[in-house]
Structure 1
Amino acid sequence: MMKKNLKKTLIASAIVGAMAIAPMGAQAACTTTVGSVMALTGSLGALGQAIAKGAELAVSTVNQAGGVNGCQLKLALLDDQTNPAVGVSAAKQLVDINHVSAIVGALSSGVSMAILTSVTAPSKVVQISPSSTSPSFTALAKQGKTGGYWFRTAPSDALQSVAMAKMAHDDGLKRVAVLYLKNPYGEGLAGEFQTYFKRMGGTITAAVPYNPKQPSYRSEVGSALQGKPQAVFLIGYPGDGTTVAREWVSAGGPQVFLLPDGLESQKFVDDVGAKYMKKVIGTAGGSVKTPSLTTFNNDFKAKYGELPTQAYMTNAYDAVMVIALAMEKGKGTSSAVVKDNIRKVTGTAGEAVYAGAAGFEKAKKLIKEGKPFHYVGTVGELNFDAYGDTSGPMAIWTVKGGKVEQTGMMSVKAINAVIKKY
């Protein structure tokens, strides 16, 4: 049944960016394929389709610069439907049939964890997620269970939870209920938020998990309303999150929402109804203002016509760029080459190179000359630690006039100061 379903639902087309033009003016005769597993449908589909465009834009960028090691770059993109079992099947297809050495994805922490433990780590294939933020990945890496093949271009929820707790505290909230998706993402973010909000003097009136794809969440909402909270921290994805939010409002819950990265979605706001969201305090992975971010924004709008206000499109772009640069640096395409060269093309050593075709061409030139360099990502500097983690700022967002809008940025320094204080 699963195989039959996969044939009908997996989007298995190879998505190719602009055609690479070799120095002699002829199209590259070879291709290098990078795999990708993302939620194009399901609960995260509303966000995943735009995030996938970030990865596609990076492929186009690399090909405009002549490809990788003289070969055209290609993205084999599969839909995981925001479902761990489907994600594992997709990843197996990419590894066993497409023979990819690196996979960008997944988006959901639950899907990424299933792929990492069942496919990529055992197969020694590099996996870089642009948006899986659960602290569980750090713990797994510390236990030596990722083999060094796991990376992510988004910061851990160990940072986002602190940022959200501070925002809630600074807004004067004292009593908050937590409704969270029962998966590694929801459990990790909910747990860390509760720890820091309590340390700041706040009270968690209830912490209620919910399962995906339920027709109703009235029971969970009823439990979360016990204790008379001033607000709800709703952790989830647009699909199920919409149902939970609607039932929260219908049950008379306060229309004050704390929302994380997974719900930074205009579709989510539209489906719930902005008029029912009297106040929204949102957090999501942010990007430092660099030449790379400017290039990304301009190129994205030129290619797709508009730039949505949501997280992780830039992180997906950077994941592809880092893989391509690692292959170019290592003069190969194997998983070992990618893994061993990722930290050699990031960090802060050597000359800075930025996003865009010109930046990739500059990196190639420096590689040929034997000179050190580091890629400054669209999210900022990428300093991968021993566990594949990188830090970054948190974007602060809200809903104004019915539209999702970013209102500020909380720096890593500011977040670390909160951690030190509490």
Structure 2
Amino acid sequence: MSVFSRGTASRSRVRTVIGGIAIAGASALVLAGCAGGGGTAEPSEPAAPTEDLALKIGTILPQTGSLSFLGPPEEAGVGLAAQEVNDYADTSGVTIDDIVWGDSGDTDNKAYATTIQTLISEGVTAAIGAASSGVTKLFLDDAVAAGIITFSPANTSLDFTSWDDNGLYWRTAPSDTLQGEVLGNLLAEDGHSNVAVLYQNDSYGTGLNDVFQEVFTGTGGTIVEEQSYNTGDTTFDAQISALLASNPDAILLITFDEIYTIGPALLAAGYPADQLYLVDGNLKNFGSDAKWPAAASMEGAKGTTPAGPIEADEEFQTAVSDWWVAEGNEKLTDFSYANESYDAVILLALASLAAGSTEPADVAAKLQEVSGGSGDGEKCTTYAECVDIILGGGVADYDGKSGPVTFDENGDPTEATVGIFQFGADNLFERIG
């Protein structure tokens, strides 16, 4: 399948939120020793590539299921990056001529089970996905056994840091340690002291909830009620009643699509929207969503999600949306994890070039280096700049659309940003930090 043809076949610790911007960088993480040094050597003329490298990748991203709203920006990020790699192929020798697009679905509809086997049989170097940590856990061992790279733009579960993956699992999204700390500090700085939490009872929900509660209570706050639900549940009356009965001054909702039931129910019961807090799994532009009741105003509600640096790259978002539209789709209104998806593909292409190979193990062995996590490389912010450094005999240290990345030995980014967003009267959110 052509890279230009999309088919269906187939979250590092910080203790404070400064100025509304939540950043986990090498210094904040006390991981400065892991960061690339940013070489200062004068660049030389890039050499001709020694061989052509046809890199084959596949996607296992949510076209269906409870995270399907993340699919379009993620797939568009992948497609745009592949297009840029191909645009520079005459110089680099690296091409991505074939993307095998696939659906991850979710733990309920299990689309991932068919997709991962398709990607393995197609002989991809890397599978981009999944978005859901719970879904990735269900196929990761199969991918590792098959010897292919799994590269997620959105997995945040803490469990992946210590997964037995033979060095084949990588992610551009920071673990939930970061988002949980940002949330804890945000609610405390907003003046809340008695908070109730409703969370999804899976690795994502429990991990994020645990970190949030540790940080929030560490600031002197109190968790006055804690409720959970299981994937597939459709009725939340008991949980909502318990939350409201605890008389909290804020409620944190760690959910996926269940927000469509839980959010309106809380608002209908009279709970103030400006005391609701959302997370990456449910932060959506409800004002442009036909599934959201028009009378359910979220004005003042806040949410967090991993994002690029606060200086919004409108040019990048326009390019991502234009790629998506060119595929016959409507303009993107949500760009969640587009940055991380784009960076995943760029890093794979750079690692392939640095390795002189498209073999998964060879590519994986270079991913930490090209991210700046090892090798004392020279900083570069575009694919072309990084290619020229590598072809000139140097080591590239890519700082991408999602941030510096800087992988550690576990495949986790050690420098990342979590954005803070707030809903307006139109039920659309804007970044405030």
TM-score of the pair, normalised by structure 1:
0.81
Give 1:39's aligned residue. 62
Match of 1:342 among 367, 370, 375: 367
Give 1:379's aligned residue. 402
Q: Tell me which amino acid in the other structure corresponds to 1:344.
A: E
* Inter-partner Cα distance in structure 1 for 2:424 and 2:307: 19
Q: 1:254 deviation in Å? A: 4.0
Does residue 1:98 correspond to 2:122, yes or no?
yes
TM-score of the pair, normalised by structure 2:
0.79
Give 1:287's aligned residue. 308
* Inter-partner Cα distance in structure 2 for 1:77 and 1:304: 14
Q: 1:221 deviation in Å? A: 1.6
Give 1:226's aligned residue. 245
Mapping 1:34-183, distance limit 5 Å:
34-66=57-89, 69-83=93-107, 85-95=110-120, 97-116=121-140, 118-138=141-161, 140-141=162-163, 145-183=164-202
CA contact (8 A) 1:175 1:230 kept: yes
Secondary structure of residue in 2 paired with 1:377: coil
Q: 1:160 deviation in Å? A: 0.6
* Inter-partner Cα distance in structure 1 for 2:362 and 2:144: 15
Does residue 1:297 correspond to 2:324, yes or no?
no
CA shift in 2, pair 1:193/1:70, >3 Å? closer
Give 2:430's aligned residue. 406
Q: 1:310 deviation in Å? A: 4.0
Does residue 1:210 correspond to 2:229, yes or no?
yes
Does residue 1:326 correspond to 2:347, yes or no?
no
CA shift in 2, pair 1:364/1:276, >3 Å? closer
Percent identity among equivalent residues? 28
* Inter-partner Cα distance in structure 2 for 1:178 and 1:289: 27
CA contact (8 A) 2:78 2:345 kept: yes
CA contact (8 A) 2:53 2:353 kept: no
CA contact (8 A) 2:58 2:100 kept: yes
CA shift in 2, pair 1:257/1:41, >3 Å? same
**Structure 2 residues without counterparts, runs of 5 or longer:** 1-6, 11-50, 326-330
* Inter-partner Cα distance in structure 2 for 1:297 and 1:352: 23
Structure showing greater relative contact order (alpha-carbon pairs closer than 8 Å, 6 or more residues apart): 2
Give 2:261's aligned residue. 243
Mapping 1:345-356, distance limit 5 Å:
345-347=370-372, 349-355=376-382
Q: Tell me which amino acid in the other structure corresponds to 2:403.
A: G
Q: 1:344 deviation in Å? A: 2.0
CA contact (8 A) 1:265 1:310 kept: no
CA shift in 2, pair 1:31/1:368, >3 Å? closer
Give 1:12's aligned residue. 9
Kindly report the root-mean-square deviation, in angstroms, between the aligned alpha carbons of the 2 structures.
Answer: 2.6
State the Cα deviation string for residues 357-416 of structure 1 (Å, max 9, x = none).
Answer: xx33x333332221222211101212111211113121110101324333333xxxxxxx
CA contact (8 A) 1:245 1:272 kept: no
Give 1:19's aligned residue. none
Q: 1:231 deviation in Å? A: 2.0
* Inter-partner Cα distance in structure 2 for 1:337 and 1:290: 35
Secondary structure of residue in 2 paired with 1:188: helix
Q: Tell me which amino acid in the other structure corresponds to 1:323.
A: L
Q: 1:273 deviation in Å? A: 4.3
Q: 1:220 deviation in Å? A: 2.2
CA contact (8 A) 2:149 2:364 kept: yes
